[in-house]
Amino acid sequence: MSKTFKALSDETRRRILEILEKNQSAVGGIVERFNLSQPTISRHLSILREANLVIDERQGQSVIYRLNHEELASAMRHFFRQFRTCEELLRDSAEIEVVPEGSEAPPPPES
């Protein structure tokens, strides 16, 4: 999952994913949308492919890229699960009484 989030950390790669969300495309079609060289875009696509966020398919002499919706959805579920975990930790910590160092803990509540 760390490869996925590292790939998503770059703005150019996120923009490439936005393009591929609408339509699959060859490298040339993606390059036209950026002020970047073809090798630079190819490198970004390679990182996205290694993270399994895009799927490439050879069609004749072209390689067509498309968004891997399943992997992106899985990454988003993982991401939001982390927020729930943090929220639970915060809620649990709010229930814990913090005793300043050097003072005595209060007696437990009577049942």
Specify if 57 maps to a domain.
yes
The pLDDT of residue 32: 94
Specify if 77 maps to a domain.
no
The pLDDT of residue 86: 62
Q: Copy the structure tokens of residue 27.
A: 């490298």
Q: How many domains does the chain have?
A: 1
Task: Say how far apart CA 19 and CA 74 lie, in whole Å.
Answer: 19
Specify if 59 maps to a domain.
yes
Helices 11-22 and 38-50 meet at what angle, rounded to 10?
80
Candidates 28, 2, 30; CA nearest to 14 is: 30
The pLDDT of residue 54: 96
Residue 69 has pLDDT above 80, yes or no: yes
24, 66 contact by CB (below 8 A): yes
Which residues, in sequence order, are CB contacts of 27 under 8 Å at separation 6+?
38, 41, 42, 45, 63, 65
CATH (domain of 21): 1.10.10.10
More confident of the two residues 76 and 8: 8
Q: Is 95 strand, coil or helix?
A: helix
pTM, two decimal places: 0.69
The pLDDT of residue 58: 94
Q: Which residues pair with 25 in a beta bridge?
A: 65
56 lies in which domain range? 2-70
33, 23 contact by CB (below 8 A): no
pLDDT digits (tens, 9 = 90+) for 29-60: 999 999 999 999 999 999 999 999 999 999 99
